[in-house]
Amino acid sequence: MMNTQRKGGKNMGVLILAAGQGTRMESALPKVLHPMGGKPMIFYTLRLANALKPAAIGVVVGHEAEKVKAAVSALAKETGITRPIQFIVQKAMLGSGNAVLESVPFLKKFKTAVVLCGDTPLLTYESIYGLALSHEEQKGQATLLTAKLANPKGYGRIVRSPMGEVLRIVEESVGSPKELALNEVNSGAYCFEVEPLLLGLKDISPKGPKKEQFLTDIMELVRSKGGKINAYLSPNPEEILGVNSRVQLAASERVINRRMLERFMLSGVTVCDPGSTHIDADVEIGQDTVIQPFTVMRGKTKIGRQCRVGPFCYLEDAQVGNECEVRSSQLVSCRVLEKCAIGPFANIRPDSVLGPRAKVGNFSEVKNSRVGFGSKVPHLSYIGDTEIIEDVNVGAGTITCNYDGKTKHKTTIGAKAFIGSNVNLVAPVKVGRGAKIGAGSTITEDVPDGNLAIARARQVNKA
């Protein structure tokens, strides 16, 4: 890992361009807010900017400015962004050059500025650090992060002199066939000396089909005033992938996901099939847990050590303790304590707490309930608004009738109670400690401790 202390400081600011609508996304949602790894895409750029330790981070907003501002502020708070964030409102979306022009009051405060696009979430700290270091060493007026791509379509192409100096960047929409055949592309990440940048900005003339001011035209302008442009070639071209369409969104998400999974694998988690496993950025998984194929973990899901999760599981904001087994089930906003067995085909809904050593199995649904220590709900049950104390066996097909059409009511089942199969517990109702309920009963009154309750019609055999 490189030394992070050398970069940043009071002379450096980072500017993130995030005002564009993202027309090619064909979406009502601003592009930089599209989710990736469970976070709005701009999170990754924000985190990167923060890691550079600049004096401040400027975020240019425009399209749906209030929405983007609110999302960025919330992210900053949630994810521990420590650098001050300043929003710059771009009044009309006249291109990336115009976005930087609108940011002059912010940029003026610094000697050096790193400019990043809000739609390149895969850039790593190593690359941007390398870019900043190369900028410092080569003493040019601007340094670009570039990459060589087999298919450069859509990106700005880097035009170099026969000697290899960077002359200019040509955008796809205005390039000649010869220029468009060049395969070194602009990542959209730059390091600028602010003074020459500010001198050139206002001279960028509108271009292309949308008459936009291309930030990339600044290179030629800086050069025309005697400045020098350098390029830092990314060692990993995959990183520069820009997200302009949903096809690129999916490609980027795949990389983010793979990075997450690799991090887990390197910390001792077995991921049987990375291709069918999707894990959000905030998920935590303990050592020696095995994740079987077709498993999705969203939000703030946390899995303990030595668990087996999957195949075919969906977990969202779920906490699972050590040594649990979860198979083909859905768990949302719930807590499963250690050594529980869930599934196959269980639906554990919000505000449920299971275990330790509880079992909820085949086609059972649990909602806002506690299934206490060692208790079992193995087959075909609905347990809602219920407190199951401990060591209870709930027979197949048991239903807590918690809803009378207006209000939800509570069921309590005491320790060591035994509920026969196909029982209806009409809430509010209490089943006492050690009580037994005969199969097929509909229980409408409390059952005292140790009693046997049978509430069903007696069998009549007729010849």
Residue number with CB closer to Mg ion (244 or 421): 244
Interface residues toward Mg ion, by CB under 5 A: 119, 242, 244
Q: Are 109 and 56 in contact (CB under 8 A)?
A: yes
Residue number with CB closer to ligand UD1 (90 or 424): 90
Look at residue 286 and give the partner it binds from ligand UD1, Mg ion, none, a contact being a CB closer than 5 to 8 Å depending on partner kind: none
Residue number with CB closer to ligand UD1 (122 or 285): 122
Look at residue 215 and give the partner it binds from ligand UD1, Mg ion, none, a contact being a CB closer than 5 to 8 Å depending on partner kind: ligand UD1
Q: Are 122 and 239 in contact (CB under 8 A)?
A: yes
Of all residues in this chain, which one has the CB nearest to ligand UD1 in the complex? 156
Q: β-pairing, 112-117 with 184-193? A: antiparallel
Q: Supply the minimum distance, in Å, between the C-beta of residue 320 and ligand UD1.
A: 37
Helix axes 42-51, 65-78, angle to 10 degrees: 50
Q: Supply the minimum distance, in Å, between the C-beta of residue 114 and ligand UD1.
A: 14
Q: Which residues contact 88 (CB under 8 A, 6 or more apart)?
A: 15, 58, 59, 60, 61, 102, 103, 105, 106
Rounded distance, CA 443 to CA 341, Å?
A: 28
Q: Supply the minimum distance, in Å, between the C-beta of residue 65 and ligand UD1.
A: 11
Look at residue 310 and give the partner it binds from Mg ion, ligand UD1, none, a contact being a CB closer than 5 to 8 Å depending on partner kind: none
Q: Supply the minimum distance, in Å, between the C-beta of residue 241 and ligand UD1.
A: 8
Torsion angle (degrees, nearest 10) of CA 418, 420, 422, 424: -50
Check 34, 135, 278, 379 and give the catalytic one.
379
Look at residue 20 and give the partner it binds from Mg ion, ligand UD1, none, a contact being a CB closer than 5 to 8 Å depending on partner kind: ligand UD1
- List the beta strands (DSSP E) in 206-345: 229-233, 270-271, 277-279, 284-285, 290-291, 295-298, 302-303, 308-309, 313-316, 319-320, 325-326, 330-332, 335-336, 341-342
Q: β-pairing, 184-193 with 142-148? A: antiparallel
Residue number with CB closer to ligand UD1 (140 or 156): 156
Look at residue 388 and give the partner it binds from ligand UD1, Mg ion, none, a contact being a CB closer than 5 to 8 Å depending on partner kind: none
Alpha-carbon distances, residue 320 vs 283, 324, 376 (angstroms): 11, 7, 17
Look at residue 171 and give the partner it binds from ligand UD1, Mg ion, none, a contact being a CB closer than 5 to 8 Å depending on partner kind: ligand UD1
Q: Supply the minimum distance, in Å, between the C-beta of residue 42 and Mg ion.
A: 12
Helix axes 125-138, 42-51, angle to 10 degrees: 50
Interface residues toward ligand UD1, by CB under 6 A: 17-20, 60, 62, 90, 93-96, 98-99, 117-120, 155-156, 169, 171, 185-188, 214-216, 242, 244
Residue number with CB closer to Mg ion (244 or 442): 244
Rounded distance, CA 420 to CA 381, Å?
A: 12
**Catalytic site residue 379?**
yes
Q: Supply the minimum distance, in Å, between the C-beta of residue 425 and ligand UD1.
A: 56
Residue number with CB closer to Mg ion (86 or 244): 244
Residue numbers annotated as active site? 379
